[in-house]
A = this chain, B = another copy of it.
């Protein structure tokens, strides 16, 4: 699903208030995962290659990216993922 159709899909889904409430609660982590995947794919690095660089295994990368068990990644995991791709994590806080 390319970015444009994902956006359309998302807009439609968010018209449902129950979905919106859940999304808002989980929104930040979905956004984070999209950014992590974009970071990796933009560099043309596969999950397998990234796992090797990070010293972990592919299933951990795919779990992190798919949010299979919706467990939130720790800040350390996010920092290691980004560092393996040559990036530094910058966290900012915006008033809601």
Q: How many copies does the complex hold?
A: 2
Contact partner, A39, options B31, B77, B78, B93, Cβ 8 Å: B93
Q: Please indicate the chain B residues that have their CB under 8 angstroms from the CB of A95 in the complex.
A: 86-88
Interface size class of chain A, counting residues whose CB lies under 8 Å from the partner chain: 20 to 34
What is the minimal beta-carbon distance from A31 to any residue of chain B, in angstroms?
A: 8
Q: For chain A, residues 55 to 89, give those with C-beta under 8 angstroms from any C-beta of chain B.
A: 71-79, 82-83, 85-89
What is the minimal beta-carbon distance from A49 to any residue of chain B, in angstroms?
A: 18
Contact partner, A96, options B71, B78, B87, Cβ 8 Å: B87
> Does A3 sit at the interface, judged by CB under 8 A?
no
Q: Please indicate the chain B residues that have their CB under 8 angstroms from the CB of A91 in the complex.
A: 31-32, 35, 78, 89-92
